[in-house]
Amino acid sequence: MHDDLSSQIETTADIIRARTHRKPQVGVILGSGLSQLVDHIADPTVIPYTEIPAFPNPSVLGHKGELVLGELGGVSLLALRGRFHFYEGYTMQEVTLPVRVMRALGVETLIVTNAAGGLNADWQVGDLMRIRDHLFLPGMAGMHPLRGHNDDRLGPRFPAMLNAYDADLGAMAQAAARRAGATLRDGVYAMLSGPAFETGAEMTFLRAVGVDAVGMSTAPEVVVARHGGMRVLGISLITNIAHPDAPAANHQEVLEAGEAAKPMFSALITDVLQQIAAGAVNEA
């Protein structure tokens, strides 16, 4: 049983290695509505998830489900267009398998992105937020990707999660935003399992405990990335305002809103990659 995970990781990494000679340095997980970044990737090798047996087929509208390897901003990149969500019924292990595979391929830096509801009523749809820290509510309640046997080859039994979001990468993102003339908020992201959006009381609760943005992904992937010793940058696109007095969120809005911010998002990520290529972050 215990070797299932590592054999799944290795089998999947082998499938990808057979398709490219590229050794990806940076991995990017593209959240809802943010997949246009892949259009900027040079010399792309595209592998649909349907050709990767261990990957489930993402069911959510707006998620295409392909892995793209190529070059952007001077670095070798592995981008995931479409992620697996806990609310779709996948286990936390399934949700985080792509991060394990990235690590096995040599990826040292993970850039994780998502669509999120902004809890601050002063924020605008289309704002970008650098994730400073997270509240992993399902994980705190026991739905945790590291629960169960620990494979010491993948990481330690009790990994630290303090400062999970790399300060140097965060500073690079802020520098990139300044250059692009964009506002980059800084805040705490809370992951709820979904798929229901929050009640008013839940929004009020989240605000009271210091949460700035709420979504249904990211935290499990970050925990597994940190378990494997990767550096992490997290960016949320605020697609709606999750405030009791604001109109209720809907999925179409999440996909469409913030359309104007998407070129800015691509420019920001590309700038961060250029900084990584320039060696601004030491290898993990």
115 part of the interface to ligand HPA, by CB under 6 A:
yes
Contact between 215 and ligand HPA by CB under 6 A: the answer reads yes
Residues 155-174 that bind ligand HPA (CB under 6 A): none
Is residue 116 near ligand HPA by the rule CB under 6 A?
A: yes
Residue 271 interacting with ligand HPA (CB under 6 A): no
85 is a catalytic site residue: yes
Nearest distance from residue 115's CB to ligand HPA, in Å?
4
Bridge partners, 30 (sequence order)? 81
87 assigned to active site: yes
Torsion angle, alpha carbons of 174, 244, 221, 22, to 10: -50
Q: What residue has token string 């739905």?
A: 143
Angle between helices 219-227 and 92-104 (to 10 degrees): 40
**214 is a site residue for ligand HPA (CB under 6 A):** yes
Nearer to ligand HPA, 207 or 231 (CB): 207
CA distance 32 to 263: 15
Catalytic residue, from 115, 116, 191, 257: name it: 115
- Is residue 217 part of the annotated active site? The answer reads yes
Beta-carbon contacts of residue 256 (< 8 Å; ≥ 6 apart): 33
Which residue of 65, 73, 82, 117 would you call a contact of ligand HPA, by CB under 6 A? Answer: 117
- Nearest to 20, CA basis, from 55, 82, 72, 67: 67
Positions annotated as catalytic residues are 32, 63, 85, 87-88, 115, 216-217, 240, 251
